[in-house]
Structure 1
Amino acid sequence: MSDEPGFTCSCCGRRHGEPPLSFSAPAPAFWTPDLVDDPDSELSSDQCVIKRQAFFVRGLIELPVVDTGEVFTWGVWVSLSEKNFTRATRLWDVPGREAEPPYFGWLSTELPIYSPTTVELKTHLHTRPVGERPAVELEPTAHPLAVEQRQGITRARVQRIAETLLHPGPR
């Protein structure tokens, strides 16, 4: 046992700092490297368009860490209809945008620690004040991610997530 902050990793046996409280996907699951040169596709840190047919916004799934009062976040992508994407884009820098009703969407990020897949879970995207990423609310199903969003996770679960994502590959 050590008095140093952090944890001993069950994957590599080494001591790591505190486990991260957030992980993010750089692009929607449907983005591929060949789209970089496509004039009808664009990927920014907040929005993505694929071939002028699929529209995505980046948001946060927040999981309360019940034994510490912290919040663990997944940075994810949600697909929106073209109409809702256009509206969200038009209001992107407009103060008061948080008064918008939530936008229906489909989760478009594969979070590999969950089974079954997280891609295409039903969501509601809640805009927040300018400068804050939208909140992603999952439909209240029995999917493990939706359950964790409703019920929260423990600090031990945060550590297991970190171990899995920091050491990908066969286990």
Structure 2
Amino acid sequence: MTAQNFVCRCCGKSWSPQFGSPAPEAPFHWTGPTCPAPAKAIHANTDVLTELYCKCSGDFLVRAYLPLELKENAKFVFLSAWCSLSEANFTRFIRAQNNGTAASLGDMFSYLFSEIPVGAPLLKRGRLVPYDNGALPLFWLEDDEHPLDKVQKKQISADAVVKLYRDLKAEVIDHLLI
């Protein structure tokens, strides 16, 4: 769960943090096709879903990682989530991502737009931390009402991560526990 790349012993499938982490296919209110459009489609003036971005019903969303530090070894696991930005910050973020200079934007006010864990409250505030060279940003919760806020400030056990991955129906967990 913490390796940069992981090859499953049972099937030979290769996982990376981006594609192995539990990830909602689309934001909870997206009603269009879940098959992502090409990245350049995000510049259209319509609702659109790509691998990393979504414009939907006036919301401007970015896929990000929620980092969780493990108690057992102080390494991080990452959950993938949708986070909202203002329209202006969304435009600035995409431009900086395309230029490879997103870190220069600094931390950005954002809201968690994913139900992680299942049943958790939506739209909880936090910070989106951009990184250069097209890397997914990190999202740090800043809302005591969300159960992962406390986890991000402390640590989480590997058993709790396995439960979280199972609740999120993460396919990778079956390959990690062989």
TM-score normalised to structure 1 length? 0.74
2:147 aligned residue (144, 150, 155)? 144
1:144–1:26 Cα change, 3 Å:
same
Which of 43, 47, 55 does residue 41 from structure 1 map onto? Answer: 47
Query: Which of 48, 55, 63 is the aligned partner of 1:58?
Result: 63
Mapped pair 1:159 → 2:151: no
C-alpha contact 2:125 2:143 (8 A) present in aligned 1: no
Asked if 1:94 is matched to 2:93, the reply is no
The SS at the match of 2:92 is helix
Using the aligned pairs only, state the percent identity: 26
Asked if 1:120 is matched to 2:123, the reply is yes
Q: Counterparts of 2:118 and 2:56 in 1: how far apart (Å)?
A: 26
Shift of 1:102: 1.4
Q: How many residues align?
A: 145
Alignment of 1:98-113 (within 5 A): 98-113=103-118
The residue that corresponds to 1:8 in the other structure is none
Alpha-carbon distance in 1 for matches of 2:67, 2:98: 23
* TM-score normalised by structure 2 residue count: 0.71
Task: Specify which of 65, 74, 79 is matched with residue 74 of structure 1.
Answer: 79
Map Cα deviations across residues 66-116 of structure 1 (whole Å, 9 max, x no partner). 11233121100111111111111111122332121211111111124354x
Deviations 1:9-51 (A, max 9, x none): xxxxxxxxxxx97211121122113798x97111111111114
Bigger share in helix: 2
Consecutive unaligned residues of structure 1, counting only runs of 5 or more, are 1-19
Where does residue 85 of structure 1 map in the other structure? 90
Larger radius of gyration: 1
1:112-131, Cα deviation, whole Å (9 max, x unpaired): 4354x2x1000111110213
Evaluate the alpha carbon distance shift between residue 148 and residue 114 of structure 1 in structure 2; reply closer, same or farther with a 3 A threshold.
farther
User: Equivalents in 2 of 1:48, 1:165: separation in Å?
Assistant: 20
